[in-house]
Amino acid sequence: MDELQEALQDWGLTVHNLPEKGRCLFTTKDFYPGEVIISQEPYVCVPNNSSTESRCDGCFTSVNLKKCSACQVVWYCGSKCQKLEWKLHRLECEVLSKLDKDRRKSVTPSVRLMVKLYLRRKLQNNKTLSATATDNYNLVEMLVAHMKDIDEKQLLLYAQMANLVNLILQWPDINIKEIAENFSKLACNAHTICDSELRPLGTGLYPVVSIINHSCLPNAVLVFEGRLAVVRAVQHIPKGAEVVISYIETAGSTMTRQKALKQQYFFTCTCSRCIKVGQQDDVRESAILEGYRCKDDRCIGFLLRDSDDKGFACQQCGLHRSKEEVKKIAAEIQATSDKASKSVSSGNLQEAISMYKTVEKLQRKLCHPFSISLMQTREKLLKMLMELEDWREALSYCKLTIPVYQSVYPQFHPLLGLQYYTSGKLEWLLGETEDAIRSLTKAVDILRITHGTNSPFMKELIMKLEEARAEASYKLSSKDDE
């Protein structure tokens, strides 16, 4: 621990232990928006490969892949990534190659992550791989496991997975109980590695980043540059404050957020947003995000249950909405959504779009205009319409989501920045240069804080904005010449 504290001092950080939270990361200097608080390479990581999707084990790209000819499990995009991973994969390849074909198929990304964890520990123990204060197995040992909080079913699953790891490694002195405990550690400490546009690519264990606790109103954000985890401040964090990120999607009512945190991380959040639970502001926010709209189209009031529980009353105009009506529309939405997702699974995008449009129409009738479920349907439509290159309609749905994003996310939130980026790209494609400049400028203003300015993604975004500005000034000067 002393070694770690020493290493963290250079970052302007220190670890404290609080009874209600366990370890916490505190600042020993001021951090400003956009500043990197800490970055870390993974102790171990794996791409989320499946039977339909494969990625390179080194850089997570999905192009130009070749399967490792020996183990037939792991993919690489070229010799650079293969060499980078070789010391560890040499051992992994040996054990995977001994498995029969069916057994190899049961090696899920989580099982692979665990196998790699043990192999890395072995390589650091015998000094084949070097260890440092921020890159060693002791840090994995310190992670919380919450074994006492896990239910029987989950424990059984971890035990089965641990047996599989044992079967793969075949080490005589391996401790199966410890492997099961490590699976539990992964569940509440590992991070989903995403690309710059927050699309999930893999899973990684970053034992120092894992010291950072959660808040629904975080002062920092975690993004990835390749597989490097980077934590940046999204507001001024004074010296002596705790660094907090969000573990979950924060666009949800307090009850929804608390349920998600309890289920996966076994704690009750007491952040400044959560302690308002049940207060007027919180009730209003929950009713808007997850509740129903006023029956009168012109009213944007939110509804609360009647005192006799027979229906709902608009808190602005007092209009009543019956339980039966709400139930009926909700059932229609559910049935149509189920059909729509089946169309997506069978690859029929046109049919899916048409069904999701029906869902959106029904949700407009039932849900508050700022509801999360309506926003999610619009996001689905946006994504599918972009796939079909219907830029005009995609833009119309994108624009409908932005006011909701603005209301549910703080000023510097990656999702808000990315939504402006999508809007800007669509406007650019449609030749609406002035609008594109406005949207791309907003995207850059947010994403330079959350993502920094050095990644290829940000360089491309900044270049797009410059191109749009150049085109606008060219158009202006051609007009002047006329």
Ligand X SMILES: C[S@@+](CC[C@H](N)C(=O)[O-])C[C@H]1O[C@@H](n2cnc3c(N)ncnc32)[C@H](O)[C@@H]1O
Task: Note the residues at the interface with ligand X (CB under 6 A).
Answer: 20-23, 143-144, 146, 188-189, 210-211, 213-215, 265-267, 269
Nearer to ligand X, 271 or 458 (CB): 271
- Distances, alpha carbon 392 to alpha carbons 56, 387, 396, in Å: 35, 12, 6
Nearer to ligand X, 247 or 428 (CB): 247
> 228: which strand partners?
225
Sign, Cα dihedral of 101, 105, 110, 113: positive
Nearer to ligand X, 23 or 399 (CB): 23
d(Cα 424, Cα 162) in Å, to the nearest integer?
48
CB 209 → ligand X: shortest distance, Å? 8
Which helix or strand (DSSP H or E) is residue 406 part of? helix 391-408
Nearer to ligand X, 21 or 273 (CB): 21
CB 23 → ligand X: shortest distance, Å? 3
CB 72 within 8 A of CB 242: no
Nearer to ligand X, 242 or 325 (CB): 242
Among 421, 426, 416, smallest CA distance to 439 is for 421
Nearer to ligand X, 99 or 222 (CB): 222
CB 191 → ligand X: shortest distance, Å? 9
Distance of CA 372 to the CA centre of its chain: 16
CB 207 → ligand X: shortest distance, Å? 9
CB 420 within 8 A of CB 428: no
For the CA atoms of 468, 474, 477, 482, the dihedral, rounded to the nearest 10 degrees, stands at: -120
* Farthest-apart Cα atoms in the chain, separation: 84
CB 50 → ligand X: shortest distance, Å? 26
Sign, Cα dihedral of 439, 401, 235, 449: negative
CB 268 within 8 A of CB 258: yes
Beta strand spans in 394-464 (E): none
CB 215 within 8 A of CB 257: no
Among 434, 363, 447, smallest CA distance to 397 is for 363
Nearer to ligand X, 72 or 264 (CB): 264
Nearer to ligand X, 15 or 313 (CB): 15
Nearer to ligand X, 146 or 320 (CB): 146
> Taking CB positions, which residue lies at the least distance from ligand X?
22
d(Cα 397, Cα 388) in Å, to the nearest integer?
14
DSSP H helices in 54-131: 79-97, 101-105, 109-125
Nearer to ligand X, 209 or 394 (CB): 209
d(Cα 230, Cα 202) in Å, to the nearest integer?
16
